[in-house]
């Protein structure tokens, strides 16, 4: 399986706690006003990369966890689900994923929802320019939630973190 990849950031501290390998995919239809990365909307931007190739890059950095961003990874859900499943089965790394869909929208779509078992954290919802708050960590507007999908957030949790009872 292949993912259309716009860019990869190595050992970044911008996309979740600690060092992370961030996979920025191409393609987004949410068209949020004030989007930080409108060049990522084009589904033909970047280049195709095999899941195996991405997995090798992720595994090569023993220090870094993993983040999926874009663009919106949910538009390439089957391939990202495969990558996330392999990361969970073959490494001990955590996965944070950003999407312009709300969790409820993801849960309502079986193709997108298939990724959820393999993600640790979903940062959900569109960016709302009128609510922009540059003090927020890892999100642009307060409607976006940092959702720990399978357990309690860490005790030093990040403001905006939402523990999620129904998925436990």
User: Residue 19 CB, nearest distance to ligand SF4 (Å)?
Assistant: 22
CB of residue 28 to ligand SF4, shortest distance in Å = 3
- Beta-bridged to residue 97, according to DSSP, are 68, 122
Shortest Cβ distance from residue 151 to ligand SF4 (Å)?
26
C-alpha angle 142-93-113 in degrees, rounded to nearest 5: 55
Size of the site for ligand SF4 (CB under 6 A): 13
Residue whose beta carbon is closest to ligand SF4: 100
Angle at 47 between CA 127 and CA 101, to 5 degrees: 25
Q: Please report whether residue 126 would count as binding ligand SF4 according to CB under 6 A.
A: yes
Q: How far apart are CA 121 and CA 16, in angstroms?
A: 9
Looking at 10-18, 67-75, 103-111, 141-149, which segment touches ligand SF4 (CB under 6 A)? 67-75
Given a contact cutoff of 8 angstroms between Cβ atoms, the answer to whether 61 and 8 are in contact is no
Among 20, 21, 25, 40, binds ligand SF4 (CB under 6 A): 40
Please give the backbone phi and psi of residue 129, each rounded to the nearest 5 degrees, phi first: -55, -40
Please report, as ranges, the residues that interact with ligand SF4 according to CB under 6 A.
Answer: 28, 30-32, 35, 37, 40, 70-72, 100, 126-127
């Amino acid at each position: 399986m292949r993912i259309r990849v716009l860019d990869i950031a190595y050992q970044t501290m911008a996309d979740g706690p600690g060092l992370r390998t961030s996979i920025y995919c191409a393609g987004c239809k949410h068209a949020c006003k004030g989007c930080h990365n409108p060049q990522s909307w084009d589904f033909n931007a970047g280049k195709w990369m095999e899941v195996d190739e991405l997995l090798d890059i992720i595994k090569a950095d023993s220090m870094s966890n993993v983040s999926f961003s874009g663009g919106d990874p949910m538009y390439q859900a089957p391939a990202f689900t495969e990558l996330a499943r392999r990361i969970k089965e073959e490494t001990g790394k955590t996965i944070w994923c950003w999407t312009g869909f709300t969790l409820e929208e993801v849960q309502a779509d079986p193709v997108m929802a298939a990724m959820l078992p393999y993600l640790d954290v979903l940062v959900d919802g569109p960016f709302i320019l009128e609510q922009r708050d540059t003090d927020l960590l890892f999100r642009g507007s307060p409607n976006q939630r940092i959702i720990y999908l399978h357990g309690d957030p860490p005790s030093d949790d990040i403001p905006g973190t939402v523990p999620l009872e129904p998925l436990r």
